[in-house]
Chain A
Amino acid sequence: MSGVSWLVPVILSVISASTPLLLAATGELVTEKSGVLNLGIEGMMLLGAIIGFAVTLTTGSAILGIIAAAGAGIAMAFVFGVLTLLLLANQVAAGLALTIFGTGLSALIGKSFVGNAVPVLPKLNLPILSSLPFIGPILFQQDALVYASFLLLVLVGWFLYRTHAGLVLRAVGDSHEAAHAIGYPVIAIRFGAVLFGGMTSGLAGAYMSLVYTPMWAENMTAGRGWIALALVVFSTWRPARLLLGAYLFGGISILQIYVQSMGLPIPSQFLSMLPYLATVLVLVLISRDRSRIRLNAPACLGRPFHATG
């Protein structure tokens, strides 16, 4: 096993780099499938990060912290939902505003929490499985949020493609007029999808401030919300590809750091842009087949719905 044991820490780093992306992107996928484009992921993540951190620090309970972070994400998404679905505000503008608002609000709340640290979220060890060589530490010694990221993705895939409710949600995203004519509550369904997106963004934020770097620092998500947003397009709205995209991106961003620390003579600026380059490349390859994208892309994405009959 010693031949591949050096891989274990690399893979562990990849998992921690990919998890926040996967969490946030999973929620955004559902939101977009219902036809709503929410550009506020970054803001929702930041608020989730500070609320999760603050609650964990003051109560000493990481579980309460995670629940509060999810709640903070939902609250932000609620504001977005009211603005865009009930008041019919422009989704792009409202989403950007949500990001700016979240950045500022999290900084304001976080002011008194700077300079503190919380213990890292404990790893959940399983009796025999965790002590297996190689796959033990990778698959069975993770924290609750990593497991949650996979579980949520599987649930979303099952929900969207194997349940009636998922079919309705996709129908709302593809043609809100038709769904409305049949009698489905378009606004209510979209609202639910938006709130789900807020919840996973909040969880992604909690992962940042409780696991990835267990502290609060202003703007600590450093643009990961935007990457998550891009990953949804990258995945052409398919959950399985979302997993691939998140781990491809996380993997290459970790790989470039290892390549540097091994002293390979490749310019670091080139390595830094590699994750983005790879994403663009795959995107180009995927979009060669336009009909398949059209098959999965929600046709009503970003279009406001007003029930006028």
Chain B
Amino acid sequence: MRRRTFTKLLGATAATAALGRFGLARADEPFKAGFVYVGPVADFGWSHQHDLGRQAAVKALGDKLKTTYVESVKEGPDSERVIRELATAGNGIIFTTSFGFMNPTIKVAKQFPKVKFEHATGYKRADNVATYNIRFYEGRYVQGVIAGKMSKSGVVGYIGSVPIPEVVMGMNAFIRGMHTVNPQGKIKLVWINGWYDPGKESDAAKALIDQGADIIAQHTDSAAPLQVAEQRGVKGFGQASDMIKFAPKAQLTSSVDHWDEYYTQRIQAAMDGSWKTQDIWGGLKIGMLHMAPWTNMPDDVAQAAQAAQNGIEDGSIVIFKGPINDQSGKVKVADGAQLSDDDILGMNWLAEGIEGTLPQ
């Protein structure tokens, strides 16, 4: 009896040692987490913010964690190779941070059932694949409130990237916010059909200002439109990160993506084994989205902006609650009705007050 226990014990120890040799977590070795970025970490926008999140996790978890990141990874087949390499290298959790990494992530996740995967902005999940995203449109509603107060011409110039629901919901949220303070407010819209072309973005900003816009909002990634606003003496909003350095006199605020706590929590969960697949779409309330300081505006506007933010956080403001009309004046959301998350995620119509077309 005693002997059998001893043998069993011996076997268990040997098994543990063997497992350790094959790369599974051993107590004295740090836990490994991998990150895949679509842009350079120095893009001062989307990927930059993800990397700040990674750094925050490293800071919070210290020696217990070792992270690896791969930047400027093209969406598509190339990303599958990168994700697989990270999985093979013994990373316990891998964050893939662009929509186009969705299918490669799912594919690699099937081959590595022990590794946890987290895919940002996607909709495909599995037992070891969670998804996470930010309600960016909440920030745009707050921006709309500020624009409604600040604009003298009542015209906001809006630079659209590509016509997908993510961008459309942001625009509609913006005009919803604007209309709470200026029901006559208008958005003039220009699509540049791309996410990133500083030259084109600044051309669009100039054209919109020439058309009477005195506030510039953007859903593109560079700080160029804000710079134009600064030069032309109008106001604007930053994108993804605080861009005040580019436009000290023009930036009103900026919606800042904030992944710090999320990354720390999820890595911690993967470390202690409590990780479960989930789908999270968080916003201002849980701090995944921050608003940069209210700048270049009078106190009453700052108060209105803060009130809008507080309202979204405590749930007293529901952005997509009827009545909402579309561009042609047709009722899209009936009085008192409320759009579900699925409706918002599939949004393909422009709200009343937006001048421009939505290419179908």
Interface, chain A (partner B; CB < 8 A) = 6, 9-10, 13, 16-17, 20, 107, 110-111, 114-117, 120, 208, 212-215, 217-222, 224, 253-254, 257-258, 260-263, 265-269, 272
Contact = CB atoms under 8 A, between A and B. Distances in A.
| Interface magnitude class on chain B | 35 or more
Given A224-B199, A268-B193, A268-B359, A217 B245 contact: no
Which residue, B42, B204, B223, has most C-beta atoms of chain A within 10 A? B42
Contact of A13 (B189, B207, B224): B207
B143 interface: no
B205 to A, nearest CB: 9
B203 interface: yes
A218 B198 contact: no
Contacts of A212: 198-199, 202
A110 B245 contact: no
Given A117-B246, A214-B227, A260-B191, A6 B44 contact: no
Given A9-B206, A9-B210, A261-B190, A220 B199 contact: yes
A105 B55 CA distance: 25
Contacts of A10: 207, 210
Nearest to B39: A218
Contacts of B193: 268-269, 272
B188 to A, nearest CB: 5
Given A120-B231, A257-B190, A261-B211, A217 B198 contact: yes
A260 B199 contact: no
A17 B203 CA distance: 8
B49 interface: no
Contacts of A265: 357
Nearest to B231: A120
Contacts of B192: 257, 272
Contacts of A272: 191-193
Given A114-B42, A117-B245, A260-B191, A254 B207 contact: yes
Contacts of B359: 267-269
B166 interface: no
Contacts of B198: 208, 212-213, 215, 217, 220, 222
A213 B227 contact: yes
Contacts of A266: 357
Question: Chain B's interface: helix, strand, loop or mixed, by majority?
Answer: mixed
Nearest to B197: A222
Contacts of A115: 44, 245-246
B122 interface: no
Contacts of B211: 258, 261-262
Given A218-B43, A220-B199, A258 B245 contact: no
A268 B196 contact: no
A16 B193 CA distance: 20
Contacts of A9: 206, 210
Nearest to B356: A263
Contacts of B231: 120
A25 to B, nearest CB: 16
Contacts of B208: 261
B199 A13 contact: no
Nearest to A112: B42
User: Sorted from nearest, which 10 A-B pairs have the closest CB atoms?
Assistant: A268-B191, A213-B198, A213-B224, A222-B197, A114-B42, A257-B207, A260-B190, A272-B193, A9-B210, A263-B355
A267 B357 contact: yes
Interface string B171-206: 000000000000000001111110011111111101
A257 B42 contact: no
B353 interface: no
B246 A215 contact: yes
A120 B193 CA distance: 27
Interface in B311-360: 355-357, 359
A13 B347 CA distance: 34
Contacts of A267: 357, 359
B222 interface: yes
Given A260-B191, A260-B356, A269-B193, A114 B202 contact: no
Contacts of A221: 199
Contacts of B199: 17, 20, 208, 212-213, 220-222, 224
A117 B202 CA distance: 14
B228 to A, nearest CB: 8
B53 interface: no
Given A13-B206, A222-B196, A257-B204, A217 B188 contact: no
Contact of A114 (B43, B157, B196, B197): B43
B282 interface: no
Contacts of B44: 114-115, 217
Contacts of A254: 203, 207
